[in-house]
A and B are shown apart, each in its own frame.
Chain A
Amino acid sequence: MSDILLSIQGLTKAYPGVVANDTVSFDIGVGEVHALLGENGAGKSTLVKMIYGLVKPDSGQMLLRGQPFAPPEPRAARADGIAMVFQHFSLFDALSVAENIALGMEDPPPMRDLSRRIREVSETYGLPLDPYRTVGDLSAGERQRVEIIRCLLQYPRLLIMDEPTSVLTPQEVDILFQTLQKLQSEGTSILYISHKLEEIRKLCDTATILRLGQNVGTCVPAETTARDMAEMMVGTSLQTPERSGRALGDVALDISGLSVPSPSAFGTSLKKVHLTVRKGEILGIGGVAGNGQDELLGVLSGEISTPSDAVMLAGAPVGRLGPTARRKLGLLAAPEERLGHAAAPDMSLTENALLTGAVREKLENRGFLRWGAAQGFAERIIEAFDVRTPGPANAARSLSGGNLQKFVIGREVLQDPEVLVVNQPTWGVDAAAAAAIRQALLDLAAKGAAVICISQDLDELMEISDSFAALNEGRLSAHKDTAGLTVDEIGLMMGGAHGMEVAHV
């Protein structure tokens, strides 16, 4: 590993109001798996965009095998052997696998030859794919395979992967890691961006840690604890959420054998879902996105109407009630999509506080709004959840993702719910804020509320929940106690590796 493939020297990139990268330097060796770690907004994405030619650095230089390297556009970077798998898949749903791959190549062969090569390469690396399928019909894991194969067909010297595992089941992660290790053994370097520390410890040779755009340290992940790395990322010591022993009370919410068709054409219908949560219990619901999470939240929050006795809140049927009526009874929900679903982007925080808090916080009086009380409520949320904003009059859109998430969760927690349903409570939130949100959920449960936490972050679910169930293609698995649950068991509950069974036939 003495050879250096890419040397990054003092790269700086500033956007109005923020320095995304501040004189960042590090080297990537030939055949090295190099991790790039950091919080949201630490500048990881900007850095890789500069390497890939999407963004031009303000100053500093890069050396590729000792030669100055300044790609003016991605085409040039690809020509020099840099390939990138994007965080948000850069695929075209309506096009076929082969067409998608052709789009990512400089000089694609005719479709028939390309399809044959896709088959060959995909089988060599254990990532089976049918080149004629439409990408819109593929699972998240299969879509990622499309991206990886698109890169592999160009024999890259450096493969950049931006948070590749966030949408995969544990089994799919294993397959991905085997592929990456095979690539590494062939001499391909990999720049691996993630904030999942355990993965990095398993896979990567070196890690560079960014904080607020600066390189704050390099470490060998296998010899560093996850906690130390997290603290380097955050810059302060982390507080692990504390679980206090608590007794479970009566059944707070019960769904038995509910089947609901999805309201959207590409959604997943719920099939015979059984769900029970008791007072003081946190039920974690895992599963890969798009397996019925949105529909389940809709059924619980009241956005999707069901037969009256299908959803029982403390023994009373609420299936036909809408969200406002359910709020009155103490069943609150915070959906996943912050801008547009959980909060109205262009309305102020006060107005957003009113939108869900009006009933329980008595912010309206015979149809007229009590602005003073609403502002007070918004200020309490900002205070209690450390939401960083100049004040409640600011638009929800102006908050960063993590801050808005704290506001959205705080708004529901402060209304003293009997049952709280949250979907992806810490999605896109940095480690410190995520810990605060998890602590708030634990405290809420300790006070006797039932909490249903839908999340794709398994570590999070293991950390806070008392029992665990997984959604797979609209079916909810049986609930199991979190204590003693292994990753393999969880993976099987989530449906294993999607599509792999088909591949071996």
Chain B
Amino acid sequence: MDLSAINPVLLIASLMVAATPLLLAAIGELVVEKAGVLNLGVEGMMIVGAISGFAISVETGSPYLGFLCAAIGGAVLSLLFVILTQYALANQVASGLALTLFGLGISSLMGQSYVGIKPPATGEIWLPILSDLPVIGPIFFQHDPILYFGIALVAAVWVLLKYSRFGLILRAVGENHDAAHALGYKVVRVRTLAILFGGACAGLGGAYISLIRVPQWTEGMTAGVGWIALALVVFASWKPWRALIGAYLFGGITVLQLNLQAAGVAIPVEYLAMSPYLITILVLVILSADKSSAPAALGRIFHASN
């Protein structure tokens, strides 16, 4: 056992990288659920985003074009969910599960010729002075732009939900769709936009795994991050900043336990591997003890005639 092999600066820097896919997927799903829709297809949209982004950046050589297409890919898959649940009025739980299974299947089909290829590297930002600072530089100012985009997105979602007119309408639709309809708001349109946004975010999160975190393509490489994102939204009590805390906590413990494994700590690997899940859930359960307030119309089917 050699704990001195663990470098705390690198550890913190890499936890932010580990947390970003989860954060992106969770913030998208948070908006979807605030609009009253439960989309269990996050995992499927992530993996489709992962392969879309990977394939496009390999073909074009541009990782940013890859990320853009990953967002589009996730959104296109979520369009299927829109058609099923908003127009065909199908059950949201079943449709979401189907979306995940479909996404896993189609992604492995799309990715057959991309196994074992290395994607083009995404550059890191380099700010003069700031990035050169000892300790603080590597932790905060030497990452890829997508990571900062993720944090900015959390702030943007928070502002949008709390202070903007559109955010108010979105919350109203998620709270009581019949009343929102009676007031003349387009429930289906608002929900469709929210679902597409959620799909795009999940796609980005997936591409972050295949282009930056791992960077390579293997089947099923999102490995349950989408499900963690779903749980994170609930335990974060549908609050954007709590989702950020939860994602970083999860990322941090994931990175720490990997380091501990590498350092040969005398704890069975299985316990270490389960620790991120356990601790994240535990902390968020304690956090959400105040007043966990699910959107009242969450998962309910809306039809204008009722």
Using a CB–CB cutoff of 8 Å, the interface residues on chain A facing chain B are 53-54, 73-75, 78, 86, 89-95, 99, 102-104, 108
Contacts and interface: CB of A to CB of B under 8 A. Distances in A.
B184 A93 contact: no
B179 A94 contact: no
A103 B169 contact: yes
Contacts of A54: 182, 184
Given A102-B168, A103-B169, A90 B184 contact: no
**Residue among B168, B178, B180, B295 with the most chain A CB within 10 A?**
B168
B178 A90 contact: yes
A114 to B, nearest CB: 12
Interface residues of B, number: 17
Given A90-B176, A90-B178, A99 B168 contact: yes
Nearest to B175: A92
Interface in B173-196: 175-176, 178-180, 182-185
A103 B296 contact: no
Contact of B184 (A75, A89, A108): A75
A73 B302 CA distance: 18
A341 to B, nearest CB: 19
B172 interface: yes
Interface string B151-181: 0000000000000010011011001101110
Contacts of A89: 179
B293 interface: yes
A74 B183 contact: yes
Nearest to B295: A94
B293 A94 contact: yes
Interface of A is mostly: loop
Given A103-B168, A103-B169, A91 B179 contact: yes
Given A93-B296, A94-B296, A104 B183 contact: yes
User: Residue among A78, A86, A103 with the most chain B CB within 10 A?
Assistant: A103
Contact of B179 (A53, A73, A90, A99): A90
Contacts of A75: 184
A90 B168 contact: no
Contacts of A94: 171, 175, 293, 295-296
B191 to A, nearest CB: 16
Given A99-B168, A103-B168, A103-B169, A91 B176 contact: yes
Contacts of A91: 176, 179
A94 B294 CA distance: 10
Contact of B176 (A93, A99, A104): A93
Interface in B112-161: none
Nearest 6 interchain pairs by C-beta? A74-B184, A90-B179, A92-B175, A90-B182, A75-B184, A92-B172
A18 B184 CA distance: 25
Given A54-B182, A75-B184, A90-B179, A95 B296 contact: no
A256 B47 CA distance: 63
Contacts of B176: 90-93
A92 B184 CA distance: 14
B305 to A, nearest CB: 9
A149 to B, nearest CB: 15
26 contacts: A54-B182, A54-B184, A73-B184, A74-B182, A86-B179, A86-B182, A90-B178, A90-B179, A90-B182, A90-B183, A91-B179, A92-B172, A92-B175, A93-B296, A94-B293, A94-B295, A95-B168, A95-B171, A99-B172, A102-B165, A103-B168, A103-B169, A103-B180, A103-B183, A103-B185, A108-B165
Given A54-B182, A86-B182, A94-B296, 4 more contacts: A78-B184, A91-B176, A99-B172, A103-B183
Contacts of B179: 86, 89-92
B167 to A, nearest CB: 10
Given A93-B296, A94-B293, A103 B182 contact: no
Contacts of B175: 92-95
Contacts of A74: 182-184
A93 B178 CA distance: 13
Most buried by A among B175, B184, B295, B296: B184
A329 B241 CA distance: 57
A173 to B, nearest CB: 24
Nearest to B171: A95
Nearest to B186: A73
A415 B182 CA distance: 43
B184 A95 contact: no
Among A74, A92, A104, residue most surrounded by chain B Cβ atoms (within 10 Å): A92
B294 to A, nearest CB: 9
Nearest to A77: B184
Interface in B27-71: none
Contacts of B295: 94
A441 B168 CA distance: 48
Contacts of A99: 168, 172
Nearest to B184: A74
A309 to B, nearest CB: 37
B218 to A, nearest CB: 42
Contacts of B185: 103
A89 B183 CA distance: 11
A354 B128 CA distance: 80
Contacts of A53: 184
Contacts of A104: 183
Tell me which of B165, B178, B179, B293 has the highest count of chain A C-beta atoms within 10 A of its own C-beta.
Answer: B179
B172 A95 contact: yes
Interface in B235-262: none
Nearest to A74: B184
A91 B184 CA distance: 13
Contacts of B183: 74, 90, 103-104
A469 B176 CA distance: 35
A95 B178 CA distance: 15
A93 B295 CA distance: 10
B300 to A, nearest CB: 14
A20 to B, nearest CB: 12
